[in-house]
Amino acid sequence: MCRWRRLPLAPSIGPCLPDASAVRRVASGRERKPHMYKKILLAFDGSPDGREALAQAETLASRCGATVHLLAIVDAAESMLIGEAMTYIPQNQQFVMQKVLDEGVKRFQRAGCIATSEIRYGRPAEQIVLSAREMGAKLIVVGHRDQGTLARWLNGSVGESILHQPPCSVLIAVKPQRTASSVAPIPQPKARRKA
């Protein structure tokens, strides 16, 4: 003999539905669906690739109601190569990076999101992973920088390095490619008529 377990009844929903009261709350609009990404870490340097990552993170954050933490990293390895001028360069980079971060924070605020920013020093992939762990990020967003084979071999890819030790989901934002069909045709000169 098969027996049905009766669940609490909702006025508009019949018996035997899982958690009918939760279904009613969602249907009435009093409770929103939980969102996947509540904390997003955006590695942002102001480059065109970084701006694409910012645009995609902004879309996600505004749809999910997420808080965003913008992170800029001054690469310690690059600073060490400079030698004596090392103290000047990081200060200059810090000033430039802070300006870029402030611009990004304002953009998120205009979109109705809560945003904070921070500058760190060190190897980019390590600092991104460390920051994501510290803040409890649910998503890391980075831009895709198209490097040649030699540059990738020497420096490595930040996105690829993050994927080896991810503390959460990772989105590598890629700029849409322009295809031949998306480019407007070049107008051809009109043929002249002979008189």
Residues 153-179 have pLDDT tens digits of 445 566 677 878 788 999 989 887 755
H/E element holding 119? strand 114-122
Fold of 39-175: Rossmann fold (3.40.50)
Instruction: Tell me the C-alpha distance between 55 and 144, whole Å.
Output: 13
Residues 54-74 have pLDDT tens digits of 999 999 999 999 999 999 998
Using alpha carbons only, give the angle 147, 151, 153 rounded to the nearest 5 degrees.
Answer: 115
Of the candidates 146, 114, 116, 148, the one whose C-alpha atom is nearest the C-alpha of residue 131 is 116
Q: Domains of the chain: which residue ranges?
A: 39-175
Instruction: Tell me the C-alpha distance between 37 and 113, whole Å.
Output: 13
The mean pLDDT value of the chain amounts to 73
Instruction: Tell me the C-alpha distance between 35 and 60, whole Å.
Output: 10
Tokens of residue 144, six digits: 């895709």
pLDDT band at residue 24 under the 50/70/90 scheme: very low
Q: Helix 88-110 vs helix 48-64: angle between axes, to the nearest 10 degrees?
A: 40
pTM: 0.65
Judge contact between 87 and 40, C-beta under 8 A: no
The residue with tokens 């200060």 is 91
